Amino acid sequence: MKVCQAYRFALDPSPVQQRALVSHAGAARFAWNWGLARCQERYEAEGKWYSAAELHKLWNAQKKADPGLAWWGMNSKCAYQEAFRDLDRALREFIMSKNGQRAGRRLGFPRLKKRGRCRDSFRLTGVLRCAGRNVTLPRLGTIGTCESTRKLARRLDNRSARILSATVSRTAQRWLVSFTVEVDRDVPDRHARPGSAAGIDLGVTRLLTGVDDTGTVISVAGPRPLRASLRRLRRASRAHSRKQPGSANRRKSAARLARVHARVANVRADALHKATTSLAARYETVVAEDLNVAGMTRNRTLARAISDQGFGRARRMLAYKTRWHGGKLLVADRWYPSSKTCSGCGAVKAKLALSERVYRCGQCGLVLDRDVNAARNLLHLAVSGTERLTACGGSVRPVPDGQRPLNQEPGTAHAGKTRTAARQQAAAA
């Protein structure tokens, strides 16, 4: 089964290489803005845009004609080309979103990118290599990495993987390269533990609470460094808000804040990866609840906001990891009241405040941890095989990448949901 996977490494560039990376990111930004301006001009005149290929052709003519653009040769031509492709995609997604053909929140018209206000990033294609503790990129040459690339290098050596592209980006002053790799994975026909199932509830205080088919409670606490980092994050953001806008101290505190943010994100992603890997290996069927992720973005508390970001991510991880193990992820429909239902007698409460951490049933007297109760309900759904479930992440059988079911991002949207979203938007408008 061929799957697309990302392999990401932190780079350790020399000062000269760092300048080259900054220059490439600048080139990508310039190309995006240049292309956007051309598209807008044409749209005003003819009502249509340029495709990525057309922009590339225009750019090739312009860069030779305009002496002001003589610097173009300092950067790989891929940086420009890929920026045009990104712009092309952004414009198409914008149109799809406008016509209600795209799931999720409504997208705005692509905007100009401004240095320092947008993420430094560019993509390269062509000859991309990695070995030991370095990677080789076109034009940029061999750059050291902070960690060994052996896992990917081994796959490249035995030809079970092929690098499609490399995206280089900067987060909190650290340069990262993310290879998009087509990997040939051995996917078993059946899960190693057939019939095993677990219902899981992604939580706020705990990372994850689950109940499996033997009745065992699975509890994954949020990683301790995360709690410590959250405290630091709170302090850093308070300190940042006190700094004079435009001052050097403000700039320094912004950098510090970004570093803490990046660390929180890393720690959390790591914990989620570990938890979802072990779930996918242990259970053939994993049942999770559907969450209106788009509707949850407006939260006041920091911890809540951060765990919200994790929900969608954990779901996507579970969708592909269960598939790699021959299992599947099922998602309860969005209106299924997993938290409000009693897992003992099935009574449904009308109201349940988020602060009530213990579920007390008025009908049968069941007293159970709120999250465990929700997880048990989800597991019951899987066992009873009701219609309130949707298989997630597309087909369980191998599909070539890029041919996923329409309107279905891996593990995030179901068929039908997009239309509902469109209807809701239409109603709101």
Q: Closest distance between Zn ion and the C-beta of residue 367, in Å?
A: 10
- Which residue, 129 or 340, has its beta carbon nearer to Zn ion? 340
Active-site residue among 120, 284, 289, 290? 289
Decide: residue 194, CB within 10 A, 0-12 exposed, 13-18 middle, 19+ buried: exposed
- Which residue, 53 or 345, has its beta carbon nearer to Zn ion? 345
The encoded tokens of residue 321 equal 């990891």
Active site residue 371: yes
Half-sphere exposure of 327 (CA within 13 A, CB side): 29
The encoded tokens of residue 422 equal 């469109």
Which residues here bind Zn ion, judged by CB under 5 A?
A: 342, 344-345, 347, 361, 363-364, 366
Half-sphere exposure of 223 (CA within 13 A, CB side): 16
- Which residue, 9 or 359, has its beta carbon nearer to Zn ion? 359
Q: Which residues contact 216 (CB under 8 A, 6 or more apart)?
A: none
- Which residue, 22 or 366, has its beta carbon nearer to Zn ion? 366
Rounded to whole angstroms, what are the CA distances from 215 to 196, 373, 376? Answer: 11, 12, 8
Residue position matching structure tokens 């510090």: 256
Q: Closest distance between Zn ion and the C-beta of residue 380, in Å?
A: 13
Q: Identity (one letter) of the amino acid at 396?
A: V
Rounded to whole angstroms, what are the CA distances from 93 to 38, 97, 427? Answer: 18, 6, 21
Q: Closest distance between Zn ion and the C-beta of residue 363, in Å?
A: 4
Residue 418 main-chain phi, psi, to 5 deg: -65, -40
Instruction: Report d(CA 269, CA 173) in Å as an integer.
Output: 19
Q: Closest distance between Zn ion and the C-beta of residue 202, in Å?
A: 23
Instruction: Report d(CA 149, CA 152) in Å as an integer.
Output: 6
Q: Closest distance between Zn ion and the C-beta of residue 387, in Å?
A: 23
Residue spans of beta strands (DSSP E) within 283-377? 285-289, 328-332, 358-360, 367-369
Q: Closest distance between Zn ion and the C-beta of residue 344, in Å?
A: 4
Q: Closest distance between Zn ion and the C-beta of residue 361, in Å?
A: 3
Q: Residue 171: in which H helix or E strand, if any?
A: strand 161-171
Active-site residue among 120, 201, 212, 290? 201
Instruction: Report d(CA 211, CA 316) in Å as an integer.
Output: 20
Decide: residue 135, CB within 10 A, 0-12 exposed, 13-18 middle, 19+ buried: buried
Q: Residue 64: in which H helix or E strand, if any?
A: helix 52-65
Instruction: Report d(CA 342, CA 361) in Å as an integer.
Output: 6
- Which residue, 88 or 201, has its beta carbon nearer to Zn ion? 201
Bridge partners of residue 296, in order along the sequence:
none
- Which residue, 221 or 366, has its beta carbon nearer to Zn ion? 366
- Which residue, 315 or 370, has its beta carbon nearer to Zn ion? 370
Q: Which residues are catalytic?
A: 201, 289, 371
